[in-house]
Amino acid sequence: MPELPEVETVRRGLEPALVGARFSRVTLRRPNLRFAFPERFAERLEGRRVRALARRAKYLTAHLDSGETLVMHLGMSGRFDVSLPDGRNLSPGDFYLEGALGTPKHDHVVMAMETGATITYNDVRRFGFMDLVPTDGLAASRHFAGMGIEPLSEALTGEAVARLFRHRITPLKSALLDQRLIAGLGNIYVCEALHRAGLHPEAPAGSLATESGRPTPKARLLARVIRDVLTEAVAAGGSTLRDYAHTDGSAGAFQHAFRVYDRVGEPCPAPGCRGVIGRMVQAGRSTFYCAVCQPAPARGPGPRRAASGAAK
């Protein structure tokens, strides 16, 4: 599934074609994606102008002059193609399954803009969705109610980490993936951030707060490296795990900067570390880490769970 940097890449690619433009015609080629389209979906879009295109966690939000917001989620295989009046075709944040690119049977929504641009939503697996929500009720809508803070915002500080994680005994990686605490973090970038911060994925989340609730130095470091990792990934155009390209057709490149993710058996890249990247499974998902520079938390008596093998 696309993670936050990939969705932000899509937003930046779509922005020039959407913002300030008016929908002239919207064609739905099926009644639903993951969910049914809202009632009179095409009719409510046609004639409306896009005032702004934003991102909340892994969602795209297009704010309309009607007082509604178009909420879009890419699911696992959703992608947008943009056909411009000058004949150029762009694929901003192009996520797709190998062999399925460009198959018209998966073009489910076609948005013709008054500028002459056409934006087509293609989704092989149909796990994505679109919805229309009153803009003034967006934060309280079913999509965003209870959602945590944005990891690329100024809200993510050491103090925020300590406040959110205080007294929690859940493993640190699980806490970071909890969208009710910090919204938009995914498996890849959590592994990368924990390695940079020198924190073991199984450390209790509450260990980042002192008894008085103040942030530990590691809490401040983690907040900083989360922003650093995400910012670098956005600048690189995201990560290519299957097939991915952004607006100029080039591939997202952050996977070449992975320090631990999917690098089992390779030397740890941390300066002065002689460890080797290992893998364990947490809540059914692969976790990649270095046992040397991310030391395991102290444990009570009893056998430790063995790390898993190298297969993902």
For residue range 79-109, what is the model confidence (pLDDT) as tens digits? 888 888 877 776 665 433 333 345 788 999 9
pTM for the model stands at 0.84
How far, in Å, CA of 273 to CA of 269, rounded? Answer: 7
| pLDDT score recorded for residue 102 | 52
For residue range 243-280, what is the model confidence (pLDDT) as tens digits? 333 433 344 444 446 899 989 999 999 999 999 999 99
Whether residue 56 contacts residue 69, with contact meaning beta carbons closer than 8 Å, is answered with no
Strand-pair partners of 63 = 52, 69
Please tell me what DSSP assigns to residue 270. Answer: S
Residue 236: is its pLDDT beyond 50? yes
Whether residue 91 contacts residue 121, with contact meaning beta carbons closer than 8 Å, is answered with no
Residue type, 176: L
Residue 292: is its pLDDT beyond 70? yes
Strand-pair partners of 280 = 287
| pLDDT score recorded for residue 93 | 58
Q: Which residues participate in catalysis according to the annotation?
A: 2-3, 58, 285
In the structure, what pLDDT confidence band is assigned to residue 239 with cuts at 50, 70 and 90?
A: low
How far, in Å, CA of 139 to CA of 125, rounded? Answer: 28
How far, in Å, CA of 121 to CA of 98, rounded? Answer: 17
| pLDDT score recorded for residue 204 | 97
More confident call, 294 vs 6: 294
**Token pair recorded at residue 169:** 């005994």
Percentage of the residues of the chain whose pLDDT score is greater than 90? 70
Give the position of tokens 């940079």: 196
Which has the closest alpha carbon to 63: 152, 1, 134? 134
Which has the closest alpha carbon to 34: 173, 129, 157, 174? 129
Whether residue 91 contacts residue 100, with contact meaning beta carbons closer than 8 Å, is answered with no
How far, in Å, CA of 3 to CA of 71, rounded? Answer: 17
In the structure, what pLDDT confidence band is assigned to residue 165 with cuts at 50, 70 and 90?
A: very high
Mean of pLDDT over the chain: 86
Whether residue 9 contacts residue 62, with contact meaning beta carbons closer than 8 Å, is answered with no
